[in-house]
Amino acid sequence: MKNQSFGQMISSLRKEKGMTQLELAEKMGVTDKAVSKWERDLSFPDVNSIPKIAEIFEISIDELMQTKNSTDKKTDNTEISEILDIALKGIALAMGIAVVVLSFLNQIEIKNAMSLLGIGLVCLALSQFSNKNKDQG
């Protein structure tokens, strides 16, 4: 049962007992819509009703609470660094394309073209630097 959200745990236990959402709701003194929201992790039962839920499912409160946190989305540093890496490479590519196109159309001065290419190179260097730090860390 571990590695389930609280709602998944409630749903699994209810189904193991052969209960419908309405039957659980009646035992808990709530609506079947409330049970449905619990099972979909849209809401949670009142903290005072946790012992009653454990009693209905004939498990300890500790067992009932051994769930993963459903709000644990992937928002750690690796995802942020991946997004930053893609953004830096995208900026570098955009600068290079801008210089090529504007040069072809004779719409950019050399000084400005060098500035854009410099920005692109800095972005690539930052991307490489962050990748090197990831490999060492």
In a domain, 1, yes or no: no
- pLDDT for 133 equals 66
Examine the fold and report which residue of 65, 97, 115 is the final residue of a domain before the chain moves on: 65
pTM assigned to the model: 0.49
In a domain, 126, yes or no: yes
> Looking at the structure, do residues 59 and 100 belong to the same domain, yes or no?
no
- pLDDT for 130 equals 77
- pLDDT for 71 equals 46
Owning domain of residue 34? 6-65
> Looking at the structure, do residues 37 and 88 belong to the same domain, yes or no?
no
- pLDDT for 3 equals 73
User: How many domains are there within the chain?
Assistant: 2
Using alpha carbons, select from 47, 61, 74, 46 the residue that is nearest to residue 9: 61
CA angle 7, 31, 21 (to 5 degrees): 50
CA 46 – CA 104 distance, rounded (Å): 67
Look up the CATH number of the domain holding residue 34: 1.10.260.40
pLDDT per residue, tens digit, the chain (137 aa), is 557 888 999 999 999 999 999 999 999 999 999 999 999 999 999 889 999 999 999 999 888 888 665 444 455 667 788 888 999 999 999 999 999 999 999 999 999 999 999 999 999 999 888 777 666 65
Alpha-carbon distance values, 89 to 41, 77, 107 (Å): 38, 18, 24
The runs of H, that is alpha helices, within the chain are: 6-16, 21-28, 32-39, 50-56, 61-65, 77-104, 110-136
DSSP H or E segment with residue 66: none
Examine the fold and report which residue of 40, 65, 90 is the final residue of a domain before the chain moves on: 65
- pLDDT for 70 equals 44
In a domain, 42, yes or no: yes
In a domain, 100, yes or no: yes
